[in-house]
């Protein structure tokens, strides 16, 4: 357990300084999303998901300015060897949650950042009504939507004051539920 978490902390330490088109680093964004989740009273698994939701960008870097368009799947696949579905499935679904919200919530698409808008188009664009129904039938759809909202909000530099390692306790608690 500790070696897995050590590897994750090290990965963010080494690779987390990348920005992918936002005004903050990947590590700052991860910390902000986790902080938003913690402040909202989310459980350990969802806080861990918020912290790790973009790990796929760090695991499979690309030359694309806005990162890996399949980072949701890459990250969830990697983490599923260590964490329970309550962590990995919101991560796997968070890009689809963006597509869903753009399709059903007025003004959501217009409020996307440039980087999020770019990835939105590469991840499938607007969902059909059938795709919306299928998305919402997935077990972790609601958690993915909440994670997506923190993802949108977690781009304010002032919220990056906590070190990544401070959230290790949530990773430890979440990884224990997988065993």
Residues 2-11: tens digit of each pLDDT: 899 999 999 9
Residues 36-71: tens digit of each pLDDT: 999 999 999 999 999 999 999 888 765 454 455 678
Alpha helices in the chain (DSSP H): 2-15, 26-39, 44-52, 55-59, 71-79, 85-104, 114-122, 129-136, 141-153, 168-176
How much is the pLDDT for 21?
66
Residue 76 CB-half CA count within 13 A: 17
Residues 100-130: tens digit of each pLDDT: 999 999 999 999 888 788 788 888 899 999 9
Of residues 53, 138, 154, 45, the one with CA closest to residue 94: 53
What pTM was estimated for this model as a whole?
0.91
Residue range 81-93: average pLDDT?
Answer: 97
Whole-number Å distance between alpha carbons of 55 and 34: 13
Distant-in-sequence, close-in-space partners of 46: CB < 8 Å, separation ≥ 6? 37, 86, 87, 90, 143, 146, 147
Higher pLDDT, 161 or 73: 73
Pair of tokens at residue 139: 């077990």
Assess whether pLDDT exceeds 90 at residue 96. Answer: yes
Higher pLDDT, 157 or 146: 146
Which 8-state DSSP code applies to residue 8?
H
How much is the pLDDT for 59?
84
C-alpha to C-alpha distances, 95 to 8, 73, 105, 131, 147, nearest whole angstrom: 21, 9, 15, 13, 10
Residue range 19-43: average pLDDT?
Answer: 89
pLDDT range class, residue 136, cuts 50, 70, 90:
very high
pLDDT range class, residue 34, cuts 50, 70, 90:
very high
- Distance between the two ends of the chain, CA-based, in angstroms? 10
pLDDT range class, residue 177, cuts 50, 70, 90:
confident
pLDDT range class, residue 84, cuts 50, 70, 90:
very high
Which CATH number is correct for 2-176, 1.10.3720.10, 1.10.3210.10, 3.60.110.10, 3.40.640.10?
1.10.3210.10
Q: Over the Cα atoms of the chain, what is R_g?
A: 15
Distant-in-sequence, close-in-space partners of 91: CB < 8 Å, separation ≥ 6? 49, 52, 53, 55, 72, 75, 76, 79, 147
Domain spans in the chain, listed from the N-terminal domain onward: 2-176
Distant-in-sequence, close-in-space partners of 62: CB < 8 Å, separation ≥ 6? 68, 69
Phi/psi class of residue 12: alpha, beta or left (left: φ > 0; alpha: ψ in -120 to 50)? Answer: alpha
């Amino acid at each position: 357990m500790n070696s897995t978490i050590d590897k994750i902390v090290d990965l963010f330490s080494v690779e987390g300084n990348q920005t992918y088109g936002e005004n903050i680093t990947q590590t700052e964004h991860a910390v902000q999303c986790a902080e938003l989740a913690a402040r909202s009273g989310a459980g350990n698994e969802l806080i861990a998901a918020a912290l790790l939701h973009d790990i796929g960008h760090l695991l499979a870097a690309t030359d694309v300015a806005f990162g890996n368009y399949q980072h949701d799947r890459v990250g969830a696949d990697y983490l599923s060897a260590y964490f329970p579905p309550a962590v990995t499935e919101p991560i796997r679904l968070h890009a689809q949650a963006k597509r869903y919200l753009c399709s059903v919530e007025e003004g959501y698409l217009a409020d996307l950042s440039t980087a999020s808008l770019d990835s939105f188009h590469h991840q499938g664009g607007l969902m059909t009504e059938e795709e919306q129904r299928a998305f919402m039938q997935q077990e972790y759809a609601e958690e993915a939507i909440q994670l997506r909202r923190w993802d949108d909000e977690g781009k304010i530099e002032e919220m990056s004051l906590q070190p990544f390692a401070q959230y290790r306790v949530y990773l430890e608690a979440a990884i224990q539920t997988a065993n």
